[in-house]
């Protein structure tokens, strides 16, 4: 799928989750919430690498071309 949010980033669901958890951490204003955010982002980045390896194996060059055209998680940056 390369339409909608997928035309900007390869993992819009993960981006939404990260932003939601970040908002909760900021709203709570606690170091524990910030620590949970950092752990969650680390896990998500690990999971993204695994998923992309599986997608490249399954869809081959078609996925690699898509990956070259879109950012992984943050539009225009990463």
**pLDDT tens track, the chain, 78 positions:** 678 899 999 999 999 999 998 898 889 888 888 898 899 999 999 999 999 999 999 999 999 999 999 999 988 888
The pTM assigned to this predicted structure is 0.82
Distance between CA atoms of residues 17 and 21, nearest Å? 6
Helix axes 31-59, 12-28, angle to 10 degrees: 180
pLDDT at 46: 97
pLDDT at 3: 83
Residue 9, classed as helix, strand or coil, is strand
Structure tokens at 41: 């982002």
């Amino acid at each position: 799928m390369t339409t909608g949010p997928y035309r900007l980033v390869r993992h819009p669901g993960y981006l939404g989750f990260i932003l939601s958890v970040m908002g909760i951490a900021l709203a709570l204003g606690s170091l524990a919430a910030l620590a949970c955010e950092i752990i969650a982002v680390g896990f998500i980045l690990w999971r993204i690498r695994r998923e992309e390896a599986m997608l490249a194996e399954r869809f081959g060059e078609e996925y690699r071309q898509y990956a070259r055209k879109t950012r992984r998680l943050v539009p225009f940056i990463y």
